[in-house]
Amino acid sequence: MTMITALDTFDVRFPTSRELDGSDAMNPDPDYSAAYVIMRTDQPGLAGYSLAFTIGRGNDVQKAAIDALAHHILGLDLREVAGDLGGFSKRLINDSQLRWLGPEKGVMHMAIGAVINAAWDLAARLAGKPLWRFIADMTPEELVATIDFRYLTDALTPEEALTMLHAAAPGKPKRIEQLLAEGYPAYTTSPGWLGYSDEKMQRLAREAIADGFRTIKLKVGMNVEDDIRRCRLARETVGPNIAIAVDANQRWNVPDAIAWLRHLVDVKLEWVEEPTSPDDILGHAAIRRAVAPVPISTGEHTHNRVMFKQLFQAGAVDLVQIDAARVGGVNENLAILLMAAKYGVRVYPHAGGVGLCELVQHLAMADFIAITGKKEDRAIEFVDHLHQHFVEPVVIRNGRYIAPQTPGFSAQMHADTLTQYRYPDGPVWMEPVDIVNAH
């Protein structure tokens, strides 16, 4: 028997606010951070790695929430964790006392998601497969057994999910070959941060196209005149055949979103992301109706499957983002992907931050193989920073994510990063600011 022996956590922060990478209308000065988790076993060399992503202050609270889950895990037989990913997830999510702190939202749900994702990493490593392949190789019955259908059955039943997965199963071997040969489309937000000058935006947009990207995204929402100018400039720069999305990061009230977006209709946007509160399902539906045919989306802050369910039921969105580290782990994201497939809503996974690209690529690839069979009408977000801190960083070639081949969920960080960027006492945080910028 192999036993879970420790749940080690780390408050790791990167001083990204010292430049303006990651600046948007709601997040002017993020310090991209991770509440990082190592789920250790007594088998030499075997551990599960995962993280919850935050943007600085509060990363210590996120770490404390993960620590509060240790009693659920320490001493467990590995078979109760990696061998029963559905049962393991339900035990954490349905802890009746911890549930009060959500339920299924915010700090505690992200903590549970991080621990569940560490269990999936461990399971995939045990199987010797990258996570996307580990999911793709599950039978429909095995995959459905990982999902908690509580609160979902008015939109998706286990039987419907099984039917969808069985229908997709015969094509899996061919799609695995396709994925390995072609990669999965990426899109890039790198040109579009609000802190960048017009010239820097245009230069980065041209570079993105030269690098093979077919979709770019700009941040909007601070000033309507600026947005009109920047979006038109971007359209002139990239031409009519590159898709341009915009992201307002929850900046607007519903009536303001409608008024603002009417100014941007002529830019021919691929989608408008997070026009208002991520909680406002009816608000997204109202915006979508008012500015049609401008496509509306949200999802990176959508906190659980019940909220995604309603976005689909209300016809509130044309497409959605999913985030690997916001909801209750792989299990809940599989439920969301299945609902999106049933409702015919395309998924453009949210990434960037710290490790979000590394994690979410596996979910998109598993969706292509095992659920929807589609990848060329969608794309995974890509932002090119902080990948050097990961043992198996994402590989982007010609604007596409190359499928990872090494076992696991790709979230393991270098030991040196944990030492250097530990908050508040790692060397990076102890140095004077002008030295830090040289890193």
User: Which DSSP category does 388 fall into?
Assistant: G
The H-assigned helical ranges of 155-215 are: 158-168, 172-182, 198-210
**Using an 8 Å Cβ cutoff, are 201 and 192 in contact?**
yes
Indicate whether 344 belongs to the interface with its own copies (CB under 8 A). no
Alpha carbons 324 and 307: distance in angstroms, whole number: 16
By C-beta, is 105 or 389 nearer to its own copies?
Answer: 105
Indicate whether 315 belongs to the interface with its own copies (CB under 8 A). no
By C-beta, is 151 or 232 nearer to its own copies?
Answer: 151
- Please, what is the minimum distance in Å from the beta carbon of residue 14 to its own copies? 13
Say if residue 328 is exposed, middle or buried (CB neighbours under 10 Å; 0-12, 13-18, 19+).
buried
Active-site residue, 129 included: no
By C-beta, is 41 or 302 nearer to its own copies?
Answer: 302
By C-beta, is 149 or 429 nearer to its own copies?
Answer: 149
If we measure between CA atoms, which residue out of 389, 392, 422 comes closest to residue 410? 392
- Please, what is the minimum distance in Å from the beta carbon of residue 105 to its own copies? 5
Place of tokens 């999510």: 93
For 291, the token pair is 């500015």
Indicate whether 274 belongs to the interface with its own copies (CB under 8 A). no
CA dist 193 to 20, 77, 226, 264, Å?
8, 46, 13, 18
Alpha carbons 363 and 99: distance in angstroms, whole number: 26
Q: Which entry of 105, 109, 350, 362 is annotated as an active-site residue?
A: 350
Indicate whether 306 belongs to the interface with its own copies (CB under 8 A). yes
Indicate whether 314 belongs to the interface with its own copies (CB under 8 A). yes
Indicate whether 34 belongs to the interface with its own copies (CB under 8 A). no
Indicate whether 28 belongs to the interface with its own copies (CB under 8 A). yes
Count of residues of this chain found to bind its own copies when the rule CB under 8 A is applied: 62
Q: Which entry of 219, 362, 375, 389 is annotated as an active-site residue?
A: 219
Indicate whether 317 belongs to the interface with its own copies (CB under 8 A). no
Indicate whether 278 belongs to the interface with its own copies (CB under 8 A). yes
Binding residues among 88-127 for its own copies as defined by CB under 8 A: 95-110
> Residues with Cβ < 8 Å from 52, sequence gap 6 or more?
34, 35, 37, 62, 66, 110, 111, 113, 114, 325
- CA 370 centroid distance within chain: 19
Indicate whether 435 belongs to the interface with its own copies (CB under 8 A). no
The 3-class SS string of 317-354 reads: CCEECCCCCCCCHHHHHHHHHHHHHHHCCEECCCCCCC
Candidates 56, 140, 212, 373; binder of its own copies (CB under 8 A) is 56
Indicate whether 253 belongs to the interface with its own copies (CB under 8 A). yes
Phi, psi of 404 (to 5 degrees): -65, 145
By C-beta, is 59 or 410 nearer to its own copies?
Answer: 59
Active-site residue, 387 included: no
By C-beta, is 256 or 384 nearer to its own copies?
Answer: 256
CA geometry: angle 237, 239, 244, nearest 5 deg: 85
Catalytic residues: 219, 350
Interface contacts to its own copies, rule CB under 8 A:
26-31, 54-58, 60-62, 64-65, 68, 95-110, 149-154, 250, 253-256, 276-283, 286, 301, 303-304, 306-307, 309-310, 313-314
